Amino acid sequence: MDLTTNYLGMQLKNPLVPSASPLSRSLEMARIMESAGASALIMYSLFEEAVTAEEEAMVRFLHHQETGFGEADGFLPDHMDFPGELDRYLEQVAALKATLEIPLIASLNGVTTGGWIDHAREIQDAGADALELNVYYIAADIDQPGSQVEQRYLELLKQLKQHISIPINMKLSSAFSSVSNMVKQLEEAGAQGVSLFNRFYQPDIDIHNLRLTPCLHPSTSSEVLLCPCAGSRCSTDAPNCHWAPPVGCTRWMT
């Protein structure tokens, strides 16, 4: 059976592409996925926030210790001398490219426009075949309409298209009121593909121990219905619906 497909302008031997996850941190695991039939691999995301946080911590550690010996400070290495989050990510892009024969799709989550552009360029230069934008904007301003949020995504995409030439895939959350229209707008703005949908960490707050409880529910097959279900009541009494929401979860019961 011919399962070849075109994805992001790339000819793939089948449509099975493992999505972004820590599995791509290991070359051995990437090799196993390739030999099991993966036709391309999406890497875990590079988070601009993590790059910045590490750089700031390094600056504090090396340059703001206030030891009282200003002259001695000059002998300390520069914080840029140490490989950081970004270097490690770019090295992993290069190592995976050298290891695998299937296309490699890197993944980026930026914060600032400059960060998105700089890191996207560096990822392209490191050899990635395509870039997925793990883009997620938390719309917390009650005065901000949805159209403005959509515009942010479109503007970001248009900016990046001017700076990199590899295909761009937009990874979306399900939180758009008109998903298909959003996808159409992204296509017109130059996206070569979209991934539906991202799954976000939804940590809980343990009020008894005053700490965050990490929480990530693996998907179930019934979530394939997410698109048609969105915005309507998804009753667990419905025939063929085997999905039971986690205790206390009212996410799809609107």
In whole angstroms, the minimum distance from the beta carbon of 97 to ligand FMN comes to: 18
Contact, 198 vs 136, CB < 8 A? yes
239 contributes a contact to ligand FMN by CB under 6 A: no
Convert 133-150 into a string of H (helix), E (strand) and C (coil). Answer: EECCCCCCCCCCCHHHHH
Find the residue with minimal CB distance to ligand FMN.
Answer: 219
Pairwise CA distance, residues 247 & 227, whole Å: 23
Among the candidate windows 18-26, 56-64, 119-127, 174-182, which touches ligand FMN by CB under 6 A? 18-26
Contacting ligand FMN (CB under 6 A), which of 39, 45, 169, 192? 45
Pairwise CA distance, residues 24 & 31, whole Å: 9
Alpha helices in 5-78 (DSSP H): 27-35, 48-63, 70-73
In whole angstroms, the minimum distance from the beta carbon of 155 to ligand FMN comes to: 20
Q: Going residue by residue from 184 to 203, which x/- string records binding to ligand FMN, judged by CB under 6 A?
A: --------------xx----
For residue 59, give the 3-state DSSP assignment: helix
Task: Tell me the chain's radius of gyration from C-alpha atoms.
Answer: 21
Query: Looking at beta carbons only, is 44 or 185 nearer to ligand FMN?
Result: 44
Footprint on residues 79-98 left by ligand FMN (CB under 6 A): none
21 contributes a contact to ligand FMN by CB under 6 A: yes
Pairwise CA distance, residues 10 & 71, whole Å: 56
Query: Looking at beta carbons only, is 148 or 219 nearer to ligand FMN?
Result: 219
Pairwise CA distance, residues 90 & 108, whole Å: 12
11 contributes a contact to ligand FMN by CB under 6 A: no
Give contact residues for ligand FMN (rule: CB under 6 A).
19-22, 44-45, 107, 134, 171, 198-199, 216, 219
